[in-house]
Amino acid sequence: MACSLSGDGLHERTARWREAVAGAAGAAVPEGLRLTLPVDRVTRIAELAAAEHECCPFFDFRLHLDGPYLHLEVRAPADGGAPLADLFGSAD
């Protein structure tokens, strides 16, 4: 299991994700994590999730709009834990 991005593309995408989810509250969910963000980030998060799914189709993205909050759940198969942690950190 690997991402089809490499080099500068991978670094740029990782930086975009880290900026987009900065300050999010994280919690572990089965096979992944849940990040809670302000709802005004939904467009940026949805665009990133769609782009990420193109190069890393093993990720499962779920967006839940809940009033002023966006809950982003990201899951990966057991052997996808390293790419998940690289992009989003841990839920600790």
Q: What is the pLDDT of residue 88?
A: 83
Q: Please give the single-letter amino acid code of residue 19.
A: E
Please give the distance of CA 90 from its chain centroid, rounded to a whole number.
Answer: 11
Euclidean distance between CA atoms 83 and 87, whole angstroms: 6
Nearest 5°: phi and psi at 77? -60, 165
* Of 3 and 90, the one with more pLDDT: 90
43: burial class by Cβ within 10 Å (0-12, 13-18, 19+)?
A: exposed
CA distance between the termini of the chain: 24
What does the mean pLDDT of the chain come to? 88
pLDDT at 5 over 60: no
- Tokens at 73, concatenated: 């759940």
Nearest to 83, CA basis, from 74, 71, 73, 70: 74
Q: What is the pLDDT of residue 40?
A: 97
Query: What percent of the chain lies above the pLDDT cut of 90?
Result: 57
pLDDT at 79 over 70: yes
